[in-house]
A and B are shown apart, each in its own frame.
Chain A
Amino acid sequence: MQNSFGEPQTVLLLGGTSDIGLAIVHRLVTPTLQQVVLACRNPDDASAAVAELGVGGVTASAIAFDATDSAGHAAFIEDVVEQVGDLDVVVLAFGVLGEQAEFDDDPAKAAAAVTVNYTGSVSVGLAVAKQLRAQGHGHLVVLSSVAGERVRSANFVYGSSKAGLDGFAQGLGDSLVGSGASVLVVRPGFVHSSMTEGMKPAPFASTPEAVAEITVKALRSGRRTVWAPGILRYVFMIFRHLPGPIFRRLPLG
């Protein structure tokens, strides 16, 4: 149960090696925090983060999580609850970016990326929602992306998967109204992280720490959608309504 300042006692990060996800978890560290679970494909990859987070009164652990194993997601969440009790904050941060050119060559690869980004998020998101509903409180933070707000030709497989995820997360949040649980949809722009290493930064580029700060602030104030940085909300308000011929000519990388 979170305290009156919105400080959680338990945090589950789905995508336990995500730079943004870990930055959010670090922001949630207070004397109130007791349990952190980092869920990722290979728990060993999160060992450094586990060591970093598991200090003071915090017990941190890493557990194996396969985003593509939708059939196992309900049992996975049950196991985590068995281990740590009520889930105060769950951060859904896993996802693959991929290269559009590669996807063009290998449609199966594109479908696999979409399975992780969208299908996996749907099944685990619903499993989390079921738990939050049953406990009558808790927040699910979903890392969407501006890429889903108006999908660009440069990364339309990734963008479309995020568009689906964004719609799913908003609908899930609406369905949870009155249940005590809530969903926060976070829409970062370009973020300097291991996911975007070597890429040319887009305008209004941000850092995992900056996204985390905005996210935790939004969590505390009970917002349902947040952009990082905030100005992107207005930028994409315009982008959404640009006629195709103009949008296609924009130098968006």
Chain B
Amino acid sequence: MTDSTPDLTEMTQLTGWGRTAPSAACFVPVDVETVADTVAMAQKASERGALARGLGRSYGDAAQNGGGVVMRLQGAAEDVVIDDVAHTMRVGAGVSVDDLLRVIVPRGYFVPVTAGTRFITIGGAIASDIHGKNHHREGSFGNHVRQLSLLLADGSVAVISPTVRPDLFWATIGGMGLTGIVLDATINLIPIETSRCIVDTIRADDLDEVMAAMEQGDDRYRYAVAWIDLMAKGRHLGRSILAHGEHATLAQLGQKERDTPLRYRAGIIADVPPVFPISAMNRATIKVFNEVWFRRVPKQRDAELQSIPEYFHPLDMIGAWNRVYGPHGFVQYQILIPYGEERALRAVIERLASSGASSFVTVLKRFGASNPAPLSFPAPGWTLTLDIPAGTKGLSAMLHELDRVVLDAGGRHYMAKDSHTTPTAIRRGYPRLAEWQAVRNSVDPDGVWQSDLGRRLGLID
């Protein structure tokens, strides 16, 4: 893209991973050399502003900017610079975690925080301040960013960190891309002896059992996540599979695996075809799936060796799995409910279970301490995540109803997943929104950085 100026008239329809609520924008690839010029051109072209988009894995409209410019920042994982003394890396913001792991795992490192998919970019991980299964111990992605370069609305580049311009730094962590475009970042790495995980799995028969087991496991395990069968009711309400894990040490590997302790292979077994005219996800198919999934695990299984893709990114094995939801797409609903408000969590799960809304992947996690970012999602509490076909009857009304339960309990919504909630809900869930807006306005007084999500949820004017 260095040779030509981008065409800012051709429009592309964009959606998030949930494939709902599309909007059209000028979608152009940029690199670190062309990005500033493209942003300047975008400002001249219209008042709809500009936004960076990674791999489009946010579920809703976080990476859409209808009528404006949306940029995909290119980056090569091979260009990562690893500091073996400090255990950090400097990496381009457009680099995907998928590409990055292929480079860093064989060198004995893992990313400090990984989402449920590796098809995200470093820039997206920062903008959403993503969390993983280790939040209760190690916090979210932003906790591990040492420094970042941010392209500002005026075309200058600010190098910021928790000590240099901390206000802007923390406004950018979880700032949904609305403070500028992250160009590169210096990030902590986890040194690993092997590319395997050692996983303890238990099957919990109800919600109380899984919640108690998760609380007890917090200190003992680095990684923890529970998968809930939301179709189970009554005394089985909340029956779950809880998987605790840790990176395996060399000594924990079998004789054969010790020859290639850092071997990393992450493939896609199959792709869902692009035309999937109806949703394959209905109450019957999801119920069968959930039953099989639940039964395949014994009551307890200890010290099982799993690969990184198996343990961290199981859904990535199926390419474009979002297509199975058919033309209406699907909605992911992820909420936080603070500790001490377990009654609200139970009420939400009960309401979902009794509604007949079928969720394919329902996940429960415990969060540890929050970081200083005003719009960061994680805070001490439980987080529940579900995927529901958007065509489900009465779903919208039920989610609005659940929103009230969540907000009354002092909880909030994860904006990277959101595609349904309201500005009021965001104002209540994120009481420091005004503080974030003040920082944003100070570096972007003309409102260059815009997104559909920003407009829809009232983050920006």
Q: Which residues of A contact B (CB under 8 A)?
A: 1-7, 9, 30-32, 34, 57, 85-86, 133-137, 178-181, 221-222
Contacts and interface: CB of A to CB of B under 8 A. Distances in A.
B424 A136 contact: no
Nearest to A181: B24
B21 A134 contact: no
Interface centre among A2, A3, A135 (most CB of B within 10 A): A3
A179 to B, nearest CB: 5
A137 B24 contact: yes
Contacts of B18: 4
A143 B48 CA distance: 30
B11 A178 contact: yes
Contact of B66 (A4, A32, A135, A221): A135
A5 B390 contact: yes
Interface residues of B, number: 37
B285 interface: no
A1 B23 contact: yes
Contacts of A178: 11, 13, 24
Given A30-B396, A57-B422, A180-B13, A134 B456 contact: no
Contacts of A2: 21
Contacts of B396: 3, 5, 7, 30, 32
Given A30-B396, A134-B46, A135-B66, A180 B331 contact: no
Contact of A1 (B331, B421, B424, B456): B456
A6 B65 CA distance: 17
A180 B20 CA distance: 12
A252 B419 CA distance: 48
Interface centre among A5, A57, A136 (most CB of B within 10 A): A136
Nearest to B458: A34
B11 A32 contact: no
B455 interface: yes
Interface string B396-425: 110010010000000000000001111110
B452 interface: yes
B313 to A, nearest CB: 24
A4 B423 CA distance: 15
A5 B395 contact: yes
Q: 9 tightest CB-CB pairs across the interface, nearest first? A: A180-B24, A136-B66, A4-B20, A4-B419, A136-B67, A137-B23, A1-B456, A136-B24, A5-B396
B329 interface: yes
B419 A3 contact: yes
B48 A134 contact: yes
A60 to B, nearest CB: 17
A34 B422 CA distance: 9
Nearest to A5: B396
Contacts of A3: 20-21, 60, 396, 419-421, 456
Contacts of B46: 134
A1 B424 CA distance: 15
30 contacts: A1-B21, A1-B455, A3-B20, A3-B60, A3-B396, A3-B421, A4-B20, A4-B329, A4-B420, A5-B20, A5-B331, A5-B395, A7-B396, A30-B396, A34-B422, A57-B422, A86-B455, A134-B48, A136-B65, A136-B67, A137-B23, A137-B24, A137-B66, A137-B67, A178-B13, A178-B24, A179-B24, A180-B22, A180-B23, A222-B327
A137 B13 CA distance: 9
B349 to A, nearest CB: 22
Contact of A180 (B66, B421, B423): B66
A136 B11 contact: yes
A1 B66 contact: yes
Given A3-B419, A31-B422, A179-B11, A136 B21 contact: no
A110 B396 CA distance: 46
Given A178-B13, A179-B24, A32 B48 contact: no
Contacts of B21: 1-4, 6, 137
A137 to B, nearest CB: 4
Given A9-B456, A137-B452, A180-B11, 9 more contacts: A4-B419, A4-B420, A5-B20, A31-B403, A86-B455, A136-B48, A136-B66, A137-B22, A180-B13
Contacts of A34: 422-423
Contact of B400 (A31, A136, A179): A31
B316 interface: no
Contacts of B11: 136, 178-180
B229 interface: no
A166 to B, nearest CB: 25
Nearest to A31: B400
A118 B48 CA distance: 32
Nearest to B390: A4
B68 interface: yes
Contacts of A30: 396-397, 400
